[in-house]
Amino acid sequence: MKRILSGIQPSGKLHIGNYFGMMKTMVQQMNTSDLYVFIVDLHALTSVHDRERLQTGTLEAAADFLALGLDPERCTFWVQSDVPEVCELTWMLSTLTPMGLLERCHSYKDKVAKNIAPTHGLFSYPVLMAADILLYQAEVVPVGKDQKQHLEVARDLAQKFNNAFGETFVLPEPAISESLATVPGVDGQKMSKSYGNTIPIFMDEKPLRKVVMSIQTDATPVEEPKDPENCNLYALLKLFASPEKMAEVHDLYLNGGAAYGYLKQDLFELINDYFAEARARKRELLANPDYLRQILARGAEKARAKAVVTLDLARDRMGLKY
């Protein structure tokens, strides 16, 4: 079984793009891989300096994953800072990290352009991420395209370490889902929290209906034929409707008779039903934060057991054991 690892920022409200682009795949991989999933609160510190926001964000991210079906018994699920070994490995790796390698990282430049403070932490973000990956000897790391360069940094540092001190780290492979269809937002662009065009997963019924009704469509009259391939409403329906329903809708698009207003109502009902159980489950989980803490503590214990073995080896290789 391959060891698959991914870290998730504890920031913001999950949307259906996140769900179909990442979480659904993660939950499915639970059965076929040795899955490691963690909430990257140390990384979040590079942009969040608000005690309560970080605390709530971390618990909420945990509730999100569990509500959507992640089973902590069938994977390792924890909060990054609960395994402090990652910080020691970060330091070790940083002594092998050329400044130029970090200076070339787009993500740093993009974030500074967006007015995030250019701190040392933000600059060395990729080194902490490399430590995240190498500490658990991950073989495969599924990430979005924006994280591809960070994964190259992780591979590069693993290689540098292995060359300098002998085989120690597994070289991680990125799994970048270019082929995975991008979920469009209500305006037809890629759904993203930075574009403000999302359909949040855990939104209550009333505001959810409002968001779905705001999906932008063209002005073609009901009776005229329409192009399903270039319609964001159609693309969204396809994620939720049964094949039979989609065949009907496809027919209406091609032959005329597709009324956007009715289809939006259908979509609202489908989304509302699809996530109803998860929404209730999330509410229950958040009402019992101690239960969440318990799950995360057990996850940290499992993760830490793996981390100490790797760190011990790395310490030995570097000459920190005497």
Residues known to be catalytic: 111, 190, 193
**Binds 193, which of ligand TRP, ligand ADP, none (CB < 5 to 8 A, cut-off by type)?**
ligand ADP
Element (H, E) at 7: strand 3-8
Which C-beta is closer to ligand ADP: that of 44 or that of 89?
Answer: 44
Q: Indicate which single residue of 3, 5, 10, 18 sits in contact with ligand ADP (rule: CB under 6 A).
A: 18
Q: Indicate which single residue of 3, 4, 6, 127 sits in contact with ligand TRP (rule: CB under 6 A).
A: 6
Q: Indicate which single residue of 10, 17, 172, 228 sits in contact with ligand ADP (rule: CB under 6 A).
A: 17
Amino acid sitting at position 151? L
Residue 176 C-beta: closest distance to ligand ADP, Å: 9
Which C-beta is closer to ligand TRP: that of 131 or that of 314?
Answer: 131
Q: Indicate which single residue of 102, 122, 143, 235 sits in contact with ligand TRP (rule: CB under 6 A).
A: 143
In angstroms, the CA 142 to CA 7 distance is 9
Q: Per CB under 6 A, does 22 bind ligand TRP? A: no
In angstroms, the CA 299 to CA 117 distance is 32
Q: Per CB under 6 A, does 193 bind ligand ADP? A: yes
Q: Per CB under 6 A, does 132 bind ligand TRP? A: yes
Number of residues that bind ligand TRP (CB under 6 A): 13
**Binds 191, which of ligand TRP, ligand ADP, none (CB < 5 to 8 A, cut-off by type)?**
ligand ADP
**Binds 183, which of ligand TRP, ligand ADP, none (CB < 5 to 8 A, cut-off by type)?**
ligand ADP
State the binding string over 167-186 for ligand ADP (x if CB under 6 A, else -): ---------------xx---
- Using alpha carbons, select from 54, 61, 55, 68 the residue that is nearest to residue 26: 68
Distance of CA 256 to the CA centre of its chain: 39
Q: Per CB under 6 A, does 22 bind ligand ADP? A: yes
- Using alpha carbons, select from 220, 226, 222 the residue that is nearest to residue 254: 226
Residue 40 C-beta: closest distance to ligand TRP, Å: 4
Q: Per CB under 6 A, does 43 bind ligand TRP? A: yes
In angstroms, the CA 293 to CA 55 distance is 11
Which C-beta is closer to ligand TRP: that of 178 or that of 244?
Answer: 178
H-helix segments, the chain: 16-18, 24-29, 41-44, 51-67, 85-94, 99-103, 106-113, 120-123, 125-135, 148-165, 205-213, 232-240, 243-255, 260-274, 276-286, 289-318
Distance of CA 8 to the CA centre of its chain: 5
Six token digits for residue 17: 């793009």
Residue 184 C-beta: closest distance to ligand ADP, Å: 7
Q: Per CB under 6 A, does 7 bind ligand TRP? A: yes
Residue 245 C-beta: closest distance to ligand ADP, Å: 22
In angstroms, the CA 250 to CA 258 distance is 9
Listed in sequence order, the residues at least 6 apart from 53 whose beta carbon sits closer than 8 Å to its beta carbon are none
**In this chain, which residue has its C-beta nearest to ligand TRP?**
7
Listed in sequence order, the residues at least 6 apart from 80 whose beta carbon sits closer than 8 Å to its beta carbon are 7, 38, 39, 40, 41, 42, 43, 86, 132
Which C-beta is closer to ligand TRP: that of 21 or that of 228?
Answer: 21
Which C-beta is closer to ligand ADP: that of 171 or that of 175?
Answer: 175
Residue 172 C-beta: closest distance to ligand TRP, Å: 8
What's the sign of the alpha-carbon dihedral 241, 242, 248, 253? positive
User: Using CB under 6 A as the criterion, which residues of the chain lie in contact with ligand ADP when the complex forms?
Assistant: 17-18, 20-22, 144, 182-183, 190-194
